[in-house]
């Protein structure tokens, strides 16, 4: 695995090329070799060294996000039109998230493996706000790597940022309608499955916590459209 100095450099690179909206300057990042080196380092990393849940969370979240950045850069290199179209097409999604495989600890993984098989075992729904799939509607990309020592705090921040953003939650108090990101539909079971459980989870992080908790029965859930275009800076 890359050393601490390399990690600090990647943190610096990400803070430079990821803006406050979580959008990425992929073209500028493509001119550096840090993302490539990180993804290369995953091939020989020994996951047996991940002793705690927090270590596993941080490692696999970082692996997912860095592989996504690498995948976007490679897609742009192959077809510059990817900048405008992103993964809007069904075939594009299938290739990007399923067909493209990467070696981690000597085993082949795709992005769906990491999210739905490996990270799901950690039983922490907040990971859905930390994983960034390179789309306009995905959560904000952290401008640095996740740390095993700060992961709980960092996941709370990620959840709060996304849930209070227009692409995460939109609340229509007048009509008692709460519009949720499609993430809450796709992974509803991870948030408790039942309407009240989902809304109680959201209320923990939302600025309108009191209103949501008082109107659990009256609030109607609707889902926002999902923008599969590229989250490019």
Work out the percent of the chain whose per-residue pLDDT is above 70: 97
For residue 1, the model assigns a pLDDT of 56
Give me the residue spans of the domains in the chain.
Answer: 4-145, 163-223
**Average pLDDT of the segment spanning 56-71:** 96
Would you tell me the crossing angle of helices 195-205 and 151-163 to the nearest 10 degrees?
Answer: 100
Percent of the chain residues topping a pLDDT of 90: 85
Question: What's the rounded mean pLDDT across residues 195-217?
Answer: 97
- The confidence band for 210, taking pLDDT boundaries of 50, 70 and 90, is very high
**Which pLDDT does position 11 carry in this prediction?**
84
Q: What is the mean pLDDT of residues 105-122?
A: 95
Give yes or no for residue 149 having a pLDDT over 70: yes
Torsion over CA: 220, 225, 230, 233 (sign): negative
CB contact set of 32 (below 8 Å; sequence gap of 6+): 13
Q: What is the CA radius of gyration of the chain?
A: 18
Q: How many helices (H) and strands (E) does the chain have?
A: 11, 5
pTM attached to this predicted model? 0.94
Mean pLDDT of 56-85: 95
Say what the pLDDT of residue 8 is: 76
Q: Are strands 107-109 and 169-172 parallel, antiparallel or unpaired?
A: unpaired
């Amino acid at each position: 695995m890359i050393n601490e100095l390399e990690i600090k450099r990647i943190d610096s690179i990400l803070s430079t090329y990821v803006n406050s909206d979580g959008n990425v300057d992929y073209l500028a990042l493509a001119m550096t070799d840090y993302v490539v080196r990180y993804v290369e380092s995953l091939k020989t990393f020994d996951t047996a060294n991940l002793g705690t849940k927090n270590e596993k969370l941080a490692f696999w979240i970082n692996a997912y996000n860095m592989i996504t950045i690498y995948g976007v850069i490679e897609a742009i290199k192959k077809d510059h039109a990817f900048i405008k179209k992103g993964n809007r097409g069904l075939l594009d999604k299938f290739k990007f998230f399923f067909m493209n495989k990467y070696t981690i600890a000597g085993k082949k993984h795709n992005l769906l493996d990491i999210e739905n098989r490996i990270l799901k075992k950690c039983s922490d729904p907040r990971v859905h706000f930390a994983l960034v799939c390179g789309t306009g509607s995905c959560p904000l990309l952290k401008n640095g790597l996740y740390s095993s020592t700060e992961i709980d705090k960092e996941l709370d921040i990620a959840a709060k940022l996304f849930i209070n953003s227009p692409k995460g939650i939109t609340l229509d108090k007048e009509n008692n309608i709460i519009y949720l990101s499609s993430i809450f539909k796709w992974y509803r079971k991870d948030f408790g499955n039942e309407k009240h459980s989902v809304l109680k989870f959201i209320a923990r992080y939302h600025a309108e916590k009191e209103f949501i908790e008082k109107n659990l029965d009256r609030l109607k859930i609707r889902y926002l459209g999902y923008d599969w275009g590229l989250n490019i800076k």
